[in-house]
Amino acid sequence: MNILILGSGGREHAFAYKISESIRCNKLYVAPGNAGTSEIGTNISIAVTDFKAIKETVIKRQITMVVVGPEDPLVKGIVDFFHSDSELKDVLLIGPSMAGALLEGSKERAKEFMINHQIPTAAYQSFTKKSVSEGKLFLETLSSPYVLKADGLAAGKGVLIINNILEAQQELENMLTHAKFGTASSTVVIEEFLDGIELSVFVLTDGKNYKILPTAKDYKRIGEGDMGLNTGGMGAISPIPFVDKKFMKKIEDRIVIPTVKGLQEEQIDYKGFIFIGLIKVNNDPFVIEYNVRMGDPETEVVLPRIKTDLITLLEATANQNLDKIKLEIDNKTAATVMLVSGGYPEAYEKGKVISGLDTISDSIVFHAGTLNNGDHILTNGGRVIAITSMGNNFKEALGKSYKSIEKLHFDKMNFRSDIGFDLT
């Protein structure tokens, strides 16, 4: 099978790595890809939202399956575009339709979906420019801290958690009246703060059947001890030690089953990944968000643990026969540590030479923001490389990643040395 992966991060390198391991993979293309994906497939320099160029590539290269990495093309309707085009309609696509992608594209829509299908989530109300004053009054009925969420996609920055009521009211006004996050904040969801520990659950669904993939926990803050600015993710661990069978059953019964049923009841075409962000409050799971794709860097710890042939798994997803597949998971723990450019998530420089990559033997090197200029592998983004290792427990796996990192270097390289600090 000829396969095209859309995206250019560590997530897409992990997909490419797993897909290229399959004997069923003929030609592998990644658009636009990075220096890592170019070592196992062919990079094609087109943007993930350039549907016309993607169509040309799919036809020219006789692609059978397209795996969509990031949310942007999904929210913009790539699946609907393929299904409505007579030349593309038989191509297998991994990702939801535009209606499905709205679960990530609109926080208000996601909350509505959860309420309609009795999926546990924080109590909320949403507000627009016309209802700023009602929003301010609503904040007064809640207790601190206050959670304000821009409805639309805001590059992971649209959620504010504020302790002070006056500040929260001011920020609500900034979002609604002064377009703090552009059109993404023309509607704002205000919700109850949930006090607990976060985790992520990944589901692969064909729209009827589902498979629960390994759980993972990511570390979003730039600084040690979970301090400082939010990033795309600085590291991840799978499985999560505090998730036992009993808790997983609650997640499946209260969240996964009603979510898949809800999609079916609403006749939403959804053949792809659902990434459910949860908070464990006491011993109960609550949904804080849906993403309609895999996480990054969670993919770098989830996929290495999947033993089932990934092409077969994805093909069954697109063909709606996931029930025929046995999902096999490696019991080992996977841990990944992200190497980032100095300054990230704020301004940072690119084009630094990365050295030591050839010396790593105990870990898997997943490239994120990297570029091969013919002579060297250079940094080309904020998040540069994810170093994944496997072990009998998360400490052993992390130990291997940190040892591998000692052999790597680029100017102003930064990483968190405390991934897993909150786990026992």
**Which residues of this chain interact with ligand GLY, rule CB under 6 A?**
218, 232-233, 291, 295-296, 298
Please name which of 201, 170, 204, 221 lies closest in space to residue 345, comparing C-alpha atoms.
Answer: 221
Q: How far apart are CA 73 and CA 79, in angstroms?
A: 8
Q: Which does 159 bind (CB under 5 to 8 A by kind): ligand GLY, ligand AMP, none?
A: ligand AMP
The full 3-state SS of 47-96, as one line of letters, equals: CCCCHHHHHHHHHHCCCCEEEECCCHHHHCCHHHHHHCCCCCCCCEEEEE
Choose between 91 and 213: whose C-beta lies nearer to ligand GLY. Answer: 213
- Binding-site partner at residue 252 among ligand AMP, ligand GLY, none, CB < 5 to 8 Å by type: none
Q: Which is nearer to ligand AMP, 58 or 122 (CB)?
A: 122
For ligand AMP, the closer of residues 140 and 411 by Cβ is 140
Nearer to ligand AMP (CB atom), residue 157 or residue 395: 157
Which phi and psi angles does 158 have, rounded to 5°? -80, 5
CB of 319 to ligand AMP, least distance (A): 31
334 phi, psi to nearest 5 deg: -115, 140
Q: Which of 78, 19, 27 is nearest to 48 (CA)?
A: 78
Q: Which does 95 bind (CB under 5 to 8 A by kind): ligand AMP, ligand GLY, none?
A: none
Considering the complex, what minimum distance in angstroms separates the CB of residue 217 from ligand GLY? 10
Look at the block and give the residue holding tokens 């291997």.
400
Residue 218 site contact among ligand GLY, ligand AMP, none (CB < 5 to 8 Å, cut-off depends on kind):
ligand GLY
Smallest gap from residue 121 Cβ to ligand GLY (A): 18
| Spatial CA neighbour of 34 closest among 381, 301, 351 | 381
Cα of 84 vs its chain's centroid, Å? 27
Closer Cβ to ligand AMP, 289 or 418, answer by number: 289
Return residues touching ligand AMP (CB under 6 A). 122, 147, 149, 159, 161, 191, 193-194, 198, 277, 288-289
Q: Which is nearer to ligand AMP, 286 or 415 (CB)?
A: 286
Burial class, 9, CB count within 10 angstroms (exposed 0-12 / middle 13-18 / buried 19+): buried
Least Å distance, CB 233 to ligand GLY, is 3
